[in-house]
């Protein structure tokens, strides 16, 4: 087998590993994202629990970067302190390293089992939760399979005359090897994938354990760079946690590299095989960073704040920042296709604003103040202004001769705008009132009640995104899925209400105190979902798939 063919096979195996990692991460986020976020918020106040929560979440998401971004967003919103966020990220790095360790065991039997069960779950049901479970299992199966493929693809390299020369060069130049590993990790966007690749190659005798330790340190540098790069245009508060992780983990890897180069320690104690030694070195490094990070957390946080302040964004109140451009060009009214495209662009902007409102309102239920409440109310004013502008624009367009399809599209956009404005009104006039009441009376939901509300909210938010997509794509399958989800949410709301009444019957104090807020919130979210679902009705009616308010049988 030629060298180019070997590299193609190896590249394909690595690509499958990256895809499988992403598949598992996406499935977990969609199936359990809201529950995990709620658990994380609730436990980050305690330093030890923050570390454990970060560890658990990284294992679930198979990505320490995802946890860093999530915790950074919480810190930016004021939900958790930046100090607690730093500790959660320390735990996330250990969780990520433990995932790499688990995947080095012989799990070949799980490949067919995960693929069979996962594919069955994904294809045999329309339930979103079960389909995501199937996605997770398929991703795990493909991930294990990719590791086998990497091993087989790299086998011919053991006979290569060039390979020992390359290994000897990097062994004699650890700084270059360290930087190369950091670059590979940044390109992979995953420390787990990078460590597994190196462990697999070490297991085949292609990398010495000593070189593997240097590469692992480079992996940790590259991994710590990913989150700061992804958040470089975010608000300052969001960037503090990723920058702090870069300071602690990135600088820690540099210090450790210097110590390894100076003392050249024996690493036999890390494991019996080269593969074990590399993965265990990765775990040990992150444990050391955690232990060192506990007393240094305050110092790192203050340093992160200063670094973020030095590279801060311009004042968001400057004219350049608040200036908004409108897609509603008057000159395009003489061309109905162009005018409808402009109106669609503007409606999409309204969709984006409504999505932001829908995401923020649930955060206010947990942590609210007057500034955040006023900011959300201001978004509703923006929705009202854009809604009025779109109606006037389309009213002018109707004066021109339009085809039947153009006239129907015009009415569809107007209808969508009306419903989006109504959603904004429900959020501000109803749900914000609940927030104020909860804040004024210092009320707390029961853990079970809060889980029901966040799960229901998560489903409505997911449906909102589907509705916004259909508004642009006019995809029939997605529209059908959304209408079917409406029935599922009706059952979900009934079950949540019944559970709440059972807690009332048992005399649970928190349920009694928050009863009206709990039930009214579920009702408001159900009404929002109905409005958003009705946005896609014109697509189904156009294709004869809707009879009254029910789907026709396919």
Other Cβ atoms within 10 Å of 119 Cβ, number = 15
Element (H, E) at 38: helix 3-43
Among the three residues 310, 341, 372, which one is the final residue of a domain in this structure? 310
pLDDT at 496: 84
Among the three residues 278, 310, 342, which one is the final residue of a domain in this structure? 310
Whether 5 maps to a domain, the answer reads no
Residues 68 and 125 occupy one common structural domain? yes
Spatial CB neighbours of 4, under 8 Å, sequence gap ≥ 6: none
pLDDT at 179: 95
Which residues of the chain register pLDDT less than 70? 1-3, 33-45, 74, 76-82, 311-325, 546-554
Residues 306 and 335 occupy one common structural domain? no
Residues 225 and 350 occupy one common structural domain? no
pLDDT at 45: 64
Residues 275 and 336 occupy one common structural domain? no
What's CA 14's distance to the chain center, in Å? 22
The string of DSSP codes covering 80-103 is S-HHHHHHHHHHHHHHHHHHHHHT
Residues 212 and 348 occupy one common structural domain? no
Among the three residues 310, 343, 362, which one is the final residue of a domain in this structure? 310
pLDDT at 547: 60
The rounded distance, in Å, linking the Cα atoms of 285 and 287 is: 5
For the chain, the domain total comes to 2
Give all strands (DSSP E) within 323-411, no chain letters: none
Residues 342 and 378 occupy one common structural domain? yes
Domain around 527: 331-551
Residues 188 and 245 occupy one common structural domain? yes
Whether 258 maps to a domain, the answer reads yes
Residues 257 and 124 occupy one common structural domain? yes
Residues 304 and 347 occupy one common structural domain? no
Whether 3 maps to a domain, the answer reads no
CATH number of the domain where residue 539 is located: 1.20.58.220
Whether 347 maps to a domain, the answer reads yes
The string of DSSP codes covering 388-448 is HHHHHHHHHHHTS---HHHHHHHHHHHHHHHHHHHHHHIIIIIIHHHHHHHHHHT----HH
Whether 2 maps to a domain, the answer reads no
Residues 383 and 245 occupy one common structural domain? no
Whether 282 maps to a domain, the answer reads yes
pLDDT at 550: 53
Whether 325 maps to a domain, the answer reads no
Whether 505 maps to a domain, the answer reads yes
pLDDT at 183: 93
Residues 303 and 338 occupy one common structural domain? no
Residues 153 and 120 occupy one common structural domain? yes
Q: How far is CA 199 from CA 98, 102, 105, 149, 484, in A?
A: 13, 12, 11, 13, 46
């Amino acid at each position: 087998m030629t060298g180019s063919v070997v590299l193609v096979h190896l590249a394909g195996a690595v690509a499958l590993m990256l895809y499988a990692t992403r598949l598992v991460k996406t499935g977990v986020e969609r199936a359990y994202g809201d529950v995990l976020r709620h658990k994380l918020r609730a436990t980050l106040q305690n330093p030890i629990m923050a570390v454990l929560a970060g560890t658990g979440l990284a294992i679930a998401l198979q990505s320490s970067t995802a946890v860093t971004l999530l915790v950074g967003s919480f810190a930016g919103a004021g939900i958790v302190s930046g100090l607690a966020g730093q500790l959660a990220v320390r735990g996330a790095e250990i969780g990520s390293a433990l995932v790499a360790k688990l995947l080095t065991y012989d799990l070949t039997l799980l490949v067919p089992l995960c693929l069979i069960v996962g594919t069955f779950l994904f294809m045999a049901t329309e339930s979103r939760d079960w389909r995501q479970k199937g996605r997770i299992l398929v991703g795990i199966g493909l991930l294990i399979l990719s590791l086998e493929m990497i091993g087989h693809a790299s086998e011919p390299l053991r006979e290569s005359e060039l390979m020992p020369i390359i290994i000897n060069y990097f062994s004699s130049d650890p700084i270059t090897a360290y930087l190369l590993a950091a670059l590979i990790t940044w390109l992979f966007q995953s420390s787990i994938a990078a460590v597994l690749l190196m462990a697999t190659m070490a297991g085949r005798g292609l990398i010495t354990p000593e070189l593997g330790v240097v590469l692992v340190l480079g992996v940790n540098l590259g991994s710590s760079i990913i989150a700061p790069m992804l958040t470089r245009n975010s608000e300052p508060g969001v960037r503090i946690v990723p920058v702090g992780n870069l300071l602690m983990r990135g600088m820690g890897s540099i210090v450790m590299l210097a110590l390894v180069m100076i003392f050249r320690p024996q690493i036999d104690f890390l494991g019996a095989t080269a593969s074990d030694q590399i993965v265990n070195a990765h775990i040990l490094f992150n444990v050391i960073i955690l232990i060192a990070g506990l007393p240094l957390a305050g110092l790192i946080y203050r340093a992160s704040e200063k670094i973020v302040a030095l590279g801060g964004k311009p004042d968001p109140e400057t004219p350049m920042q608040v200036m908004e451009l409108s897609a509603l060009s008057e000159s395009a009214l003489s061309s109905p296709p162009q005018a409808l495209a402009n109106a669609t662009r503007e409606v999409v902007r309204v969709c984006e604003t409504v999505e932001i409102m829908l995401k923020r309102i649930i955060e206010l239920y947990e942590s609210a103040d007057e500034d955040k409440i006023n900011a959300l109310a201001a978004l509703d004013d923006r929705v009202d202004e854009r809604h009025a502008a779109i109606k006037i624009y389309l009213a002018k367009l109707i004066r021109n001769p339009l085809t039947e399809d153009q006239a129907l599209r015009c009415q569809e956009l107007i209808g969508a705008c009306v419903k989006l404005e109504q959603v904004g009104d429900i959020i501000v006039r109803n749900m914000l009132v609940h927030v104020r009441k909860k804040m004024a009376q210092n009320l707390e939901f029961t853990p079970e009640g809060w889980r029901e509300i966040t799960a229901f909210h998560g489903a409505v938010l997911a449906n909102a995104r589907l509705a916004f997509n259909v508004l642009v794509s006019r995809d029939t399958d997605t529209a059908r899925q959304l209408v079917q989800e409406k029935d599922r949410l009706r059952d979900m709301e009934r079950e949540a209400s019944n559970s709440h009444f059972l807690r009332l019957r048992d005399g649970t104090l928190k349920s009694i105190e928050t009863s009206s807020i709990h039930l009214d919130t579920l009702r408001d979210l159900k009404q929002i979902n109905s409005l958003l679902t009705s946005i896609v009705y014109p697509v189904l009616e156009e294709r004869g798939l809707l009879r009254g308010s029910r789907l026709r049988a396919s």
